[in-house]
Structure 1
Amino acid sequence: MTSLSPMAGLVPTDDEDIAARLREFVQDREAFSDNTWRQLLSVMRISYRWAAEHGRQFLPMSPADLRDYLLWLQASGRASSTISTHAALISMLHRNAGLIPPNASPQVFRAVKRINRSAVISGERAGQAVPFRLRDLLLLDARWSASDRLQQQRDLAFLHVAYATLLRISELGRLRVRDISRAADGRIVLDVAWTKTIVMTGGLIKALGALSSERLTEWLSCSGLLNEPDAFIFGPVHRSNRALPVTDKPLSTRSLEDIFARAWHEAGPEQAPRANKNRYRAWSGHSARVGAAIDMATNKFSTAQIMQEGTWKKPETVMRYIRHVDAHAGAMVDMMERRQQE
């Protein structure tokens, strides 16, 4: 992406200072993840179209216009979390254009508070992927570990690594064979170059347990990828049951999501969960992270330990995943039950 399309129509032609700062912003786009950049472009297109249709100015956007835009998003059926993302990215665009973000206004603060309050009262709840738990992984392991189909061997190895490392789906896709080393006892150690929340030269080290190391080794041996250090670990498998050592780009998010779909078809619960925000009816790309966090909480690991394993920066995120764990073990429940036993 070489330009912030539709940038030409967003910036006043007589304001060269804003245009110059936005050109610098585009030149430094590598400072942001691809997902953040895609979200920014999407928000720009939607908000620019709204401004054009309602006779408002897009850049700079006044607090009153931002307030009306956010309320329009709510009236259009957008979730409160989505509206918050729009507000944050519009603020980001203004800051990088050298403009005062309209979000700082009390008008916008009140609008956001109104939107969030209305969402909670109306019954909106944060969406959550269907957890992929350790019991699910072991069930699939029992069914697929003896398979002679390379796709199932790859899928099983992928699910083992996804659950054991709590890496995001894009981070799993970027792993290459050269990122693998071995501990003294033979277990695999993965050198993860960077994650969504950890971007530093030291990277991140993830170790696999014995069973996960075994399944990943089996996949690499049977696929022939052990001799392809630059190949992505989880590359495509041809319908002729032959692995393709790809080095230019990882599998698409859709292809990696399909691994969870095949796992659900093989070992998912007979009764599908209730739809959550019209989705999350089966395992998806975030399911292994959610399931692993829940299993760690169930086994009494601390929130800090779970955050470290999943590279989460905010404890609120983890608490949203594990909020149902030990729900009946609160202080009041404990006090009342002890009182009843006296």
Structure 2
Amino acid sequence: MADAASDGLAPIAAAILGPLGAPFRFALSEEQLASAQDYVTQQQRHGTRGLAASSCRTRAADWLTWLAFCAHYDRVVLPARFDDVRELLDQLVAAGRKKATLEHLLWSLADIHRRHGCPGPMDSAIARDYWRDLVREQLDGEQRQAAPMTLDLLDQLVTALLAHPLTVRRVAAGLRPVAEHAQRRRRARDAAMLHVAYDLMMRSAELVAMEWARLMPLPHGGATYRLGKTKTDQAGVGRTLYLRPATLAALDAWRTQSSQGEFVFHAISDDVHLDPAGAPSEAVGAQWQTRRERARQREQRPLGTREVSAVFRRAVSLAGLDLDLHWLTGHSARVGAAQDMVRAGSSTAQVQVAGRWASERMPIRYAERVLARDAGEDRFAKLAAMQRRRDRS
């Protein structure tokens, strides 16, 4: 069913039985089924998808949530009734889900209904009234912000990565040097990643997609990186960004230990340095050879986006810092860099350009505390100066 949702359609024949053995219920008309089939045919003929891969994945997750609800309560999957959607929304609100989560679920349901030629469950006037009441009385748009990784924190994390004693997991005595070597490589990679994430204010997806070929060292220190397609540059016009000399040094240190493949940041495996010639037996040597080849293939692929947050949190753990690890994420470098820029006197418009945001909304949100402090201090300093002038007169 996840595949069905990623295509934006529910294949009826493949979705007859739910997880409990009961059939899913559909009430699609012949005209709606024909419309859906025509859409699939046209999509296959033209090779179109219409949405980014991440959007397809999140829509699939929402669709599975709706399927699970329908299977549990024996409700019609398509077309969805407003009463049923309202019941699901009420349950999600009671479970503590945020406004953004509910908005995304409603977008996914509306998109899938549209592709089936069905009216959306929230298209009616009463549905819109319900949503306005829900937002006004039970929901708020406040979202918890990722913890900022400022330049000061970056220095602490990198120092911890490079200076903290190695702590390899329990391995056979003969394989301990291999595990320690992998740990050193991992720390060199993580240090370089932290530097790059801060300097380029990169999103997780941009970070793991970095390629060595786009990195150009400068004659007097530092480097530039040519960024291609991004979330806010779907046309791939590209941007040239600057890396500090310290960041280039970290990248150079990592490059000498990397797999020398296409991608800058890749997974690291202990097995890549197994030596079959040193195996205790011929059979074990053959196993090590197979494991080494698989590890080499794995190291040619980029990291997944989820690993970026794990890298940040591992570094915080090594540094022994008292931070809320749950909220140090792949966005933390963007938040911290935005706050540092504002502290240094940059405008939110300049932060917007540096971070490649589509508007000033996110820079303002990320730097909200800094901006509030500066505005408050400036306000009361001016009031104090006015009072002094008045007292002198």
Q: TM-score range by the shorter chain?
A: 0.7 to 0.9
- Is 2:150–2:340's contact at 8 Å kept on the other side of the alignment? yes
- Is 1:197–1:313's contact at 8 Å kept on the other side of the alignment? yes
Closer/same/farther in 2, CA of residues 328 and 261 from structure 1, 3 Å limit? closer
Question: Is residue 31 of structure 2 the alignment partner of residue 12 of structure 1?
Answer: no
- Is 2:36–2:117's contact at 8 Å kept on the other side of the alignment? no
Unaligned runs of 5+ in 1: 274-279
- Write the letter of the residue equivalent to 1:4: A
Aligned ranges 1:141-220 → 2 under 5 Å: 141-144=158-161, 149-220=184-255
Closer/same/farther in 2, CA of residues 99 and 289 from structure 1, 3 Å limit? same
Aligned ranges 1:1-342 → 2 under 5 Å: 3-4=4-5, 7-8=11-12, 9=15, 12=28, 14=30, 15-21=32-38, 23=40, 27=44, 30-54=49-73, 56-119=75-138, 125-144=142-161, 149-223=184-258, 225=260, 228=261, 230=262, 232-239=263-270, 249-267=301-319, 269-270=321-322, 272-273=323-324, 281-330=326-375, 333=380, 336-342=383-389
Normalised by the size of structure 1, how large is the TM-score? 0.81
Three-state SS of the structure 2 residue aligned to 1:329 is: helix
Aligned length: 329
Three-state SS of the structure 2 residue aligned to 1:82 is: helix
Residue 223 of structure 1: how far off its partner (Å): 3.1
Closer/same/farther in 2, CA of residues 166 and 29 from structure 1, 3 Å limit? farther
Normalised by the size of structure 2, how large is the TM-score? 0.72
Closer/same/farther in 2, CA of residues 144 and 25 from structure 1, 3 Å limit? farther
Separation in 2, partners of 1:66, 1:239:
49
- Write the letter of the residue equivalent to 2:129: R
RMSD of aligned C-alpha atoms? 3.2
- Is 2:36–2:115's contact at 8 Å kept on the other side of the alignment? no
Output one character per residue of 1:81-104: Cα deviation in whole Å (capped at 9) or x when no partner: 211111122222233334443444
Higher-helix-fraction structure: 2
The more displaced of 32-41 and 60-69 is 60-69
Closer/same/farther in 2, CA of residues 62 and 334 from structure 1, 3 Å limit? farther
Report which of the two structures shows the higher radius of gyration computed on alpha carbons: 2
Residue 178 of structure 1: how far off its partner (Å): 2.0
Separation in 2, partners of 1:130, 1:21:
47
Unaligned runs of 5+ in 2: 16-25, 165-180, 274-294
Output one character per residue of 1:99-142: Cα deviation in whole Å (capped at 9) or x when no partner: 44344433333333333333457xx8311111111101122334
Identity %: 26
Output one character per residue of 1:240-276: Cα deviation in whole Å (capped at 9) or x when no partner: 7969575753212343322112111122533x34xxx
Closer/same/farther in 2, CA of residues 248 and 199 from structure 1, 3 Å limit? farther
Residue 327 of structure 1: how far off its partner (Å): 1.4
Residue 175 of structure 1: how far off its partner (Å): 1.4
- Write the letter of the residue equivalent to 2:187: Q
Three-state SS of the structure 2 residue aligned to 1:327 is: helix
Counterpart in 2 of 1:277?
Answer: none
Three-state SS of the structure 1 residue aligned to 2:224 is: strand
Counterpart in 2 of 1:276?
Answer: none
Separation in 2, partners of 1:29, 1:73:
33
The more displaced of 239-248 and 69-78 is 239-248
- Is 1:183–1:189's contact at 8 Å kept on the other side of the alignment? yes
Closer/same/farther in 2, CA of residues 30 and 268 from structure 1, 3 Å limit? farther
Separation in 1, partners of 2:258, 2:339:
33
- Is 1:293–1:321's contact at 8 Å kept on the other side of the alignment? yes
Closer/same/farther in 2, CA of residues 247 and 192 from structure 1, 3 Å limit? farther
Output one character per residue of 1:212-240: Cα deviation in whole Å (capped at 9) or x when no partner: 12211221134362xx4x2x111123337
Closer/same/farther in 2, CA of residues 193 and 105 from structure 1, 3 Å limit? same
